Structure 1
């Protein structure tokens, strides 16, 4: 469990692994090489950028679906607060909401701070801007990008919080939620890569942020085991 001592050790190891992956991509530019592979595969253009499936269904449609899910979760939380008051049930659901929304918000904020470009913005991929890495200072006269970390992939990754929400009471459901959120996140991220909207490191970064956010929120409150199993 990520809330245990061993869990903290696991998170420390994951953090070191993430930092290593980030450094390797910046030093070797392997993320650029993979983007070049996809770009060449599509005929030296981002042929899927405005495709009805990748743009209308998997981008716009999925965003709307996620908005419905978040709104539904907020309504359930409000209903529980009115019906049960502040109980372990509402508390846990509140942590779920905070984790999901914080993941979305933090990733969106970092996109404005890092100012990195999408592949489709870069000269080597048919765009107009030169490439600048994460640790390179971007001149102020060059328009700021908003493509790191990956926002769309966070629609899947933010729901990693469901793993923590269910892990004590329904461990099997928790594992399904974890696998599903990672699969959806990386799936949506890859579709965005096919559109030229992101590099793969953008998706890995969003996954790590969402995992850390959920870990922090669900480690704030220590519930008694007997309380943790009394609600669905």
Structure 2
């Protein structure tokens, strides 16, 4: 009997080491989808109202020269548009490689979540008819703007500017929530908050350059978190069930 218990204990420890993924309760997903639905309504109103977008973008636009003075700012481009993005991407790649080498499914999953959100944003941007502020007539360009979910006008320009792609790199850090939530929920929520803040900061840098409206970045965060929650829920459910069978 003692030998049998020892074998069971060893098997349980091996399972924990080789498959540390965990399933979140249904109420977690219910709460997240309720909050996402509420935020979607708020963000839709902000996007269609356009007051906040115009206010923030107008602050960085020079009507006298008909341009965004910070568009070609070398320091802003280097730190915000290049270094921060590269650091996040490098962190995701390092996490993925370390997870594969050490056989940590949870770390592998979280590292993949870094890219899942960016992929979703990339697909949405590729099919969007909304042009960037610096392309719009009111900011010295030639494209015509229109509200979210509105009729696409002739001359809408090059498009491919909604949601904010650059901000999605910062929002990707929210995936670290799933790495720590089971053992250290406070740290997990700090990672979520930090990722949201980083995404907003990186996105606002693009607002300063005239590359995006602020609402574009809010929607980027919304889509990244939705994608991460859904993908983690599916992957963790499938892999945990599989490990229990074995």
Task: Report the Cα distance in structure 1 between the residues aligned to 2:155 and 2:49, rounded to whole angstroms.
Answer: 27
CA contact (8 A) 2:85 2:170 kept: no
CA contact (8 A) 2:207 2:213 kept: yes
Aligned residue in 1 for 2:99 = 77
The yes-or-no answer on 1:49 pairing with 2:71 is: yes
The yes-or-no answer on 1:65 pairing with 2:87 is: yes
The yes-or-no answer on 1:28 pairing with 2:42 is: no
Distance 1:126 1:172, change over 3 A: same
Aligned residue for 1:152, secondary structure, equals helix
CA contact (8 A) 1:3 1:215 kept: no
Task: Report the Cα distance in structure 2 between the residues aligned to 1:6 and 1:41, rounded to whole angstroms.
Answer: 50
Task: Report the Cα distance in structure 2 between the residues aligned to 1:154 and 1:195, rounded to whole angstroms.
Answer: 17
Q: Could you give the per-residue CA deviations for residues 104-154 of structure 1, whole angstroms, max 9, x where no partner exists?
A: 101011001123111111110111211123323435765432211111111
Alignment of 1:1-232 (within 5 A): 3-30=24-51, 31-39=53-61, 45-81=67-103, 90-138=104-152, 142-220=156-234, 221-222=236-237
Distance 1:42 1:209, change over 3 A: farther
Q: Deviation at 1:210? A: 1.5
**Bigger Rg over Cα:** 2
User: Any runs of at least 4 consecutive aligned residues in structure 1 with deviations exceeding 6 A, and if so which?
Assistant: none
Distance 1:78 1:108, change over 3 A: same
Aligned residue in 1 for 2:13 = none
TM-score (norm. length: structure 1): 0.82
Gaps of 5+ in 1: 82-89, 228-232
Task: Report the Cα distance in structure 2 between the residues aligned to 1:19 and 1:178, rounded to whole angstroms.
Answer: 18
Gaps of 5+ in 2: 1-22
